[in-house]
Amino acid sequence: MILAATGYDLAALREREFPWAARGDAVYLNNASTGPLPQRALHAVSDFNKLRAEPFRLTDALQFETLAKSRALVARLVGASPGEIALATNTGFGLNLAASALPLGRGDVVLAPDLEFPANVYPWMAEAGRRGVEYRQLPARDGLLDEEGLLRALEDARVKAVTLSWVSFATGAVADLARIGAACRARGAWFVVDAIQGVGVLPLDLRRVPVDILACGAQKWLLSPWGTGFVYVREALARELEPHPVSWMSVRGSDDFTRLLDYDLTWRDDARRFEQLTLPFQDFAGMNASLELLHELGPAAVAAHVSALVDTILAWASTREDIALVTPTEPARRAGIVALRVPAPQATSARLQRAGVAHSLREGSIRLSPHLYNTRDEVEHALALLAEG
């Protein structure tokens, strides 16, 4: 029996949900790019598509109960209420929502670190050009988020919003959401978070962490189909913001399909006002199956297992004079991504690819990102290949 770091049966999990991994078809350490679908998610999508092929077997209740289940599963995972969750097809939807709906005006400053993933840059740049808002990028410190500098910059009363990634896609460095969120709340600034590289690998409780809007696609660490994700909007804020763009189901009464011509532009009371219908019901059925797997294993157990695999990479890198570790080593500052600066990164990446080790080459570094189904043997195999350089 192969056990995960906290005791769940890793061998059984691989056989049941990731048979290609159990067979040794590949060593997949690229979950920060695209997570694999567990078997249960494949079956859920297939079953829903069979109904879709014969739509007389579908009911409105089945479709919308699927979405309601998605909101409930997401809310449970991140410590929110279902009413604070709007389903979305990608992370960018939530970030565009924040950039367009927050009541920012001429002279206001939106503060962000540099080296952000483009999805959390271009919406703000575009809105700054349209509304006269200043989009200000804070220089990195030694290639990482300068949290102290960010807190100092918050002292400028013109800063009305801070937007950043919970986990950097390039370095794997983790931002202290609780600390930054508390500082934003104390100064009356909105706090917007791109969480796609954190949710599913790090525990999160938004009842205790002061975030206003949090966006997350589900295709990476949530092991879900493309075109699934969510945006969290804090309850009180959700009632204040107006949706842009507007969906035909953004308003009260739109669940009653017998009265669609009773036009009434009164927004829903919760985050559903931001959802854009029609969503891919079959893919959210798949997401539900994957989220149920995460809940069965336990978010804390998953985080501990991934942390143990990351520890293996960090320990190995610390013994190598030819490899520079980009990712912070402190446990609180890292998640599931490890970035390694190696000699001849292009050639090294090609060698790993030829050997069947899936990874990414990002910003000049080899990026390894193990997840809940990976084994220590797989990680050590990848490291042995890196050592050959």
CATH number of the domain residue 103 falls in: 3.40.640.10
Of 16, 18, 17, 58, nearest in space to 378 by CA: 18
Helix (H, G, I), strand (E, B) or coil at 94: helix
pLDDT given at position 5: 60
* Alpha carbon separation from 52 to 23, 29, 48, 62, 88 (Å, rounded): 32, 34, 6, 11, 20
Where b means 16+ CB within 10 Å and e means fewer, 253-278 reads ebeeeeeeeeeeeebbebbbbbbbee
Whether 69 maps to a domain, the answer reads yes
How far is it, in rounded angstroms, from Cα 212 to Cα 126? 21
Residue at 39 is within a domain: no
205 and 138 together in one domain: yes
Query: Do residues 226 and 97 both lie within one domain?
Result: yes
Pairing of strands 357-358, 338-341: unpaired
pLDDT at 369: 98
Q: Are residues 290 and 317 in the same domain?
A: no
pLDDT at 312: 97
- Look up residue 26 and give its amino acid: A
Q: Is 119 exposed, middle or buried (0-12, 13-18, 19+ CB in 10 A)?
A: buried
Same domain, 163 and 253: yes
Using the 3D structure, point to which of 277, 295, 313 is the last residue of a domain: 295
35 assigned to some structural domain: no
Q: Give pLDDT, residue 388.
A: 84
Phi and psi at 326, nearest 5°, equal -85, -35
For residues 276 and 340, membership in a common domain is answered with no
How many helices, marked H, and strands, marked E, lie in the chain? Answer: 13, 13
Residues 6+ apart with CB under 8 A from 160: 102, 104, 108, 109, 110, 188, 189, 190
Q: Is residue 41, in this structure, part of any structural domain at all?
A: no
pLDDT of residue 373: 98
127: in domain: yes
pLDDT of residue 6: 63
Question: Can you give the pLDDT at residue 368?
Answer: 98
Apex 59 CA angle, 56 and 63, nearest 5:
125
pLDDT for 244: 87
Question: Both 136 and 19 in a single domain?
Answer: no
Domain range for 331 is 10-30+298-387
2 occurs within a structural domain: no
User: Is the residue at 3 inside a domain?
Assistant: no
One domain for residues 365 and 238: no
* Averaged pLDDT, groups of 10, the chain, 389 residues long: 71 98 97 98 98 96 97 98 98 98 96 97 95 96 95 97 98 98 98 98 97 98 98 98 95 94 96 97 98 97 97 96 94 97 94 96 95 98 90
Q: Is residue 163 within a helix (H) or strand (E), and if so which, with residue range?
A: strand 159-165
Angstrom distances, CA of residue 367 to CA of 34, 164, 180, 211, 362: 13, 20, 26, 28, 7
